[in-house]
Amino acid sequence: MLTNVKDILAKAKEGGYAVGAFNTINLETTQAIIEAAKDLSSPVIVQVTEKTFEYAGGRGIYHLIANIAEFYAKDIPVGIHLDHGKSFEVVERAMDIGFTSVMYDGSRKEYADNVMMTKKIVEIAHARGITVQAELGNVPYIGEMQMDTVDWNQYMTDPEQAKAFVEETGIDTLAVAIGNAHGFFRERSEPDYERLSKIQSLVSLPLVLHGASDWDNERVAEVIKRGISCFNVDTAIRLAFIGGMREMLQSVDETDLRKVLGTAREYTKEAVKKKIEAFGSAGKA
Ligand code: G3H
Ligand code: 13P
Ligand code: ZN
């Protein structure tokens, strides 16, 4: 059942578990995410980026997710979210299409500009009952950093600034940077747990962790204890999808695309299930 992300994450925060926000680009990934959540009776968030708007069409992908959630997943809460909206225009487009949750990512902007644009989006979104996530600090992307010389201080969320940012903008959820990084094997050797605890002590909203889809279950459990209510997962399930396709394409001379994509879907579903188990949201639908 379609459910607002704000409600899904409020429950997670209260219950001391986290919910996965999984990126989709197509039918098979969407089915894998929702079917995995359904099998485990878990709430789930399905999200898309601007690049996927370009690839699949904004309306097309939104209604694909919404239809699957409404017709095949009546018993579990499913939130639909715009991930990393980097401009006002993209966020506005998502709201017009029907997204009930959006991220405005001004993390690369000067603090004052990030506040200004985030605040403007919050005002418009809240008037329409739409949830807003923003990012402070900066979760870097694979390929951006020289791993041996990286200065993590330039990426980290400042706890006091996070408090001011939340108060000034009125956002609903906050993406934090504590040594996490998009893509595999690019994060800081150890997350800055103390920083996360400090942020949690200063703000009361649900915190979101991007770029941690390669973290082991111990790290995941530790940051949930310290205030993370939502994990964004993209790389882990993309790799699973590609693994499934690769196996089919190597093992047989297969020309039925449904068999190739069906196997990729199964692999993806298993990867999603593992994440849901680690986040502790199984049985919480
Ligand atoms: O941070 C989010 C995604 O991992 C980036 O995905 O290639 O669809 O922008 P994208
Ligand atoms: P990963 O690259 O760790 O999967 O992070 C995904 C993400 O943060 C999407 O917003
Ligand atoms: Zn991200």
pLDDT tens by residue, 124-180: 999 999 999 999 999 988 777 766 678 888 899 999 999 999 999 999 999 999 999
What was the pLDDT predicted at 147?
A: 66
Task: Label residue 256 left, alpha or beta by phi (over 0 means left) and psi (-120 to 50 means alpha).
Answer: beta
The overall pTM is greater than 0.85 = yes
Closest atom, ligand 2, to C-alpha of 180: 3
pLDDT at 280 over 90: yes
Q: Is the beta carbon of 239 within 6 A of some atom in ligand 2?
A: no
Determine the distance separating the centroid of ligand 3 and the alpha carbon of 267, expressed in angstroms: 22
Whether the CB of 213 sits within 6 Å of ligand 2: yes
In 3D, which of 6, 12, 1 has the Cα closest to residue 283? 12
Asked if 221 contacts 182 with a C-beta cutoff of 8 angstroms, the reply is: no
Whether the Cβ atoms of residue 270 and residue 32 lie closer than 8 Å to each other? no
CA of 256 to the centre of ligand 3 (A): 34
Domains of the chain by residue range: 5-279
Active site (catalytic) residues = 83
Tell me the β-bridge partners of 103: 133
Instruction: Write out the residues surrounding ion ligand 3, Cβ under 5 A.
Output: 210, 232
> In this predicted model, what pLDDT tens digit does every residue of 62-84 receive, in sequence order?
999 999 999 999 999 999 999 99
Structural fold of domain 5-279: TIM Barrel (3.20.20)
Cα of 233 vs centre of ligand 3, distance in Å, is 8
Measured by CA distance, the residue closest to atom 1 of ligand 1 is 182
The DSSP code for 213 is T
Answer whether 167's CB lies under 8 Å from 184's CB. no
Is 186 touching ligand 1 by the criterion CB < 6 Å? no
pLDDT band for position 187 (cuts 50, 70, 90): confident
Task: Please say if the pLDDT value at position 257 is more than 90.
Answer: yes
pLDDT of residue 189: 82
